[in-house]
Chain A
Amino acid sequence: MRFAELATTPLLPADYLDMVNPLRAGADLRGRIVAVHPETRDAATLVIRPGADWQPHVPGQWVRIGVDVDGVRMWRAYSLTSHLDRPDGCIAVTVKAIPDGKVSNHLVHRTRPGTLVHLDQATGEFVLPSPVPGKALFVTAGSGITPVMGILRNHTGLTDVVVVHSAPTADDVVFGAELRELAAAGRIRLVEQHTDTAGMLDAAAIADLVPDLAERATWACGPVGMLEALEEHWDAAGIADRLFTERFRPTVLVAGEGGTVTFTRTGTSLEADGATPILDAAEEAGVLMPSGCRMGICFGCVLPLREGAVRDLRNGEVTTAAPGDGVLVQTCISAAAGACDIDH
Chain B
Amino acid sequence: MTVLQKKTDNPIEHLTPEDIELIGKELDDIRQSVIDTRGEDDARYIRKVIDVHRKIELGSRAVLLASGFAPAFVVGTIGLSVAKILENMEIGHNILHGQWDWMRDPKIHSTTWEWDMASPADQWKHSHNELHHTYTNVVGKDNDLGYGIMRVDEDQPWQPFHLGQPLWSFINACFFEYGIAAYDLELAGTIAKKRTGDPEFRARAKAVLRKIGKQVRKDYVIHPLLSGPNFLPTLAANFTANLVRNLWSNSVILCGHFPEGVETFEKKSIEGETRGEWYLRQMLGSANISGSKAMHILTGNLSHQIEHHLFPDLPSNRYAEIAPRIRDLFDRYGLNYHTAPLPQQVGSAWHKIIRLSLPNGWLELTNRRNLLPQLAVLYKMTTGSPKVRRTLQRKLTAGVRLSRAAAAA
Contacts and interface: CB of A to CB of B under 8 A. Distances in A.
Nearest to B116: A10
Interface in B191-235: 214-215, 217-218, 222-223, 226
A74 B104 contact: yes
Nearest to A286: B101
A324 to B, nearest CB: 20
Given A7-B222, A10-B114, A15-B54, A71 B214 contact: no
Contacts of A15: 54, 107
A16 B223 contact: no
Interface stretch (B6-14, B37-45, B369-377): B37-45
A73 B105 CA distance: 6
B111 A266 contact: yes
Interface in B40-64: 40-44, 51, 54-55, 58
Contact of B38 (A8, A71, A74): A71
Contacts of B114: 10
B112 interface: yes
Q: Pick the most buried of B39, B44, B102, B114: most chain A CB atoms within 10 A of its CB.
A: B102
B115 interface: yes
A70 interface: yes
B32 to A, nearest CB: 15
Given A11-B54, A73-B103, 9 more contacts: A6-B214, A9-B215, A19-B55, A68-B40, A68-B43, A70-B39, A71-B103, A286-B102, A288-B104
A205 interface: no
Contact of B214 (A9, A68, A74, A286): A9
B42 A71 contact: yes
A3 to B, nearest CB: 8
Contacts of B304: none
Contacts of B355: none
A7 B218 contact: yes
Nearest to A18: B107
A185 interface: no
A160 interface: no
A16 B54 contact: yes
A196 interface: no
Contacts of A71: 38-44, 102-103
Interface in B92-106: 98, 101-106
Contacts, number: 62
Interface residues of B, number: 32
Given A7-B222, A7-B223, A71-B38, A19 B102 contact: no
Given A266-B111, A286-B98, A288-B111, A16 B222 contact: no
A283 interface: yes
B1 to A, nearest CB: 32
Contacts of A6: 214, 217-218, 222
* Chain A interface residue number, banded: 20 to 34
A1 interface: no
Given A71-B43, A286-B98, A10 B106 contact: no
Nearest to A9: B214
Interface string A1-44: 00100111111000110010000000000000000000000000
Contact of A72 (B51, B104, B218): B104
Interface string A52-73: 0000000000000000101111
B215 A288 contact: no
Interface string B113-134: 0111000000000000000000
Contacts of A3: 222
B109 interface: yes
Interface string A274-301: 0000000001001110000000000000
Contacts of B102: 71-72, 286
B97 to A, nearest CB: 12
A10 B114 CA distance: 6
A74 B215 CA distance: 35
B302 to A, nearest CB: 21
Contacts of B215: 9
Given A6-B217, A286-B98, A70 B58 contact: no
6 contacts: A3-B222, A16-B58, A71-B42, A71-B103, A73-B105, A288-B104
A73 B102 CA distance: 9
Contacts of B103: 68, 71-73
Nearest to B55: A19
